[in-house]
Amino acid sequence: MIHVILLVGCAVAIYIACDWFVNAVEWLGVQLKVGPVAVGTILAAVGTALPESVVTLVAVLFGSAKQGDGIAVGAALGGPLVVGTIAYAVTGLLLLRRTRHATDDPSDATAEATAVASLDGTDTDRLARDQTWFLSIFVFKVALGLVAFTIKRWLGLLFFAAYGVYFWREMRGTGEHASADDLQPLKSQRNRATPTNTGVIVQTIGSLIVIFGASQLFVHQLEWAGPALGLSPIVVALLLSPIATELPEIMNAIIWVRQGKTQLALANISGAMMIQATVPSGIGLLFTAWKFDAPLLIAGVATMASVTYLLILMRTHRVTPGRLTGAAVFYAAFAVGLVVTK
């Protein structure tokens, strides 16, 4: 019973901390004068993806050779799978809910029309560009898991370089700056119309610490849930643990969609996917043998299939809330394949 209580408590703590985090990171974007989309693709994504990257690094440096390698490679494959399927599906479900609410309440129709329209045109073109980058890098890293050669480990540096290029491009932006016009007051300084730099930084770092701690506790509770459900360690590592570690990205999407900021929600997802495709992979290549077995390969194929599906929708401007929820099918297929092979 205590494990269930801790799981629920951690989930609540992560949601509240993410609410404070997105509030602070939007103000941070204003203070740093970055582009409005870069708030989601870079600032929020780096903050919420940092814990997974740290866990991967700690696993390969301080874990046993076999266990550490398994955690590192599993994180590099499991993270993108969850974000590229579940996070998009959750966003789609929330938008569907808003659509139904707008149908029942005509006064909210304008807000809903704005939320759905943000999936079309220029915004989906930009998302498609990010997904193209991701898919190219992801295919390359899966291919490396199937071969062995002398200098393979050093190719990990290319993944860091790829993210560096993406980071530079996003931060450079289009000349627009994030605006404070529609921002809520900083939660830690509600009496100030414009928060102090120190207040924004403290709230950003403080909320990230809570997110990191609660996420790790959540993962530890899943270690109990696996045997209790009769699941093998590899199934827990690939099926359940990534959901816990990617919970902050999913929570961010929920919060921003509820605020009517669909563009930021989707930008955060695509930005998190870029980090997951590069940084943990670079660490894994440098410090492990980077060899894929059947479960890892199934995870890679499911991720590529989901992103290809989403990319086609974005390129043809046929993205709708309902079609976004379709991404969950690929995670379900992965789960079935994983259980069958194990």
Residue closest to 297 by CA, chosen among 234, 249, 240, 246: 234
**The predicted structure's pLDDT at residue 305:** 96
- pLDDT score for 144: 93
Considering only the C-alpha atoms of the chain, give the largest distance between any 2 of them, rounded to a whole number of Å: 64
Q: Cβ atoms within 10 A of the Cβ of 24, count? A: 27
Which of 76, 82, 203 shows the shortest CA–CA distance to 141?
Answer: 76
Give this prediction's pTM: 0.84
Q: How big is the CA angle at 271 (ends 266 and 299), to the nearest 5 degrees?
A: 95
* One-letter identity of residue 76: A
pLDDT at 118: 44
**Of residues 337, 295, 332, the one with CA closest to residue 89:** 332
Q: What is the dihedral of CA 253, 257, 263, 265, to 10 degrees?
A: 0
For 54, counting Cβ atoms within 10 Å of its Cβ (0-12 exposed, 13-18 middle, 19+ buried), the class is: middle
Per-residue pLDDT of the chain (342 residues; tens, 9 = 90+): 687 788 788 888 888 988 999 889 988 888 888 877 788 888 888 887 776 677 667 666 665 445 545 666 777 788 889 999 999 999 999 888 876 665 555 555 444 444 444 454 346 788 888 899 999 999 999 999 999 888 999 999 999 999 999 988 887 765 566 677 778 888 888 888 888 999 999 999 999 888 888 877 877 776 676 666 666 666 666 777 777 778 888 888 889 888 888 888 888 899 889 988 898 888 888 888 888 888 889 999 999 999 999 999 999 888 888 999 999 999 999 988 887 876
What integer pLDDT is reported at residue 248 of this predicted model?
85
Measured CA to CA in angstroms, residue 153 lies from 206, 220, 266, 285, 290 at distances of: 35, 30, 32, 5, 8
How confident is the model at residue 326, as a pLDDT? 94
Q: What pLDDT sits at residue 204?
A: 92
| pLDDT the model gives residue 205 | 92
How high is the pLDDT of residue 70? 65
Q: What is the pLDDT of residue 135?
A: 94
pLDDT, tens digit, for every residue of 57-104? 766 666 544 554 566 677 778 888 999 999 999 999 988 887 666 555
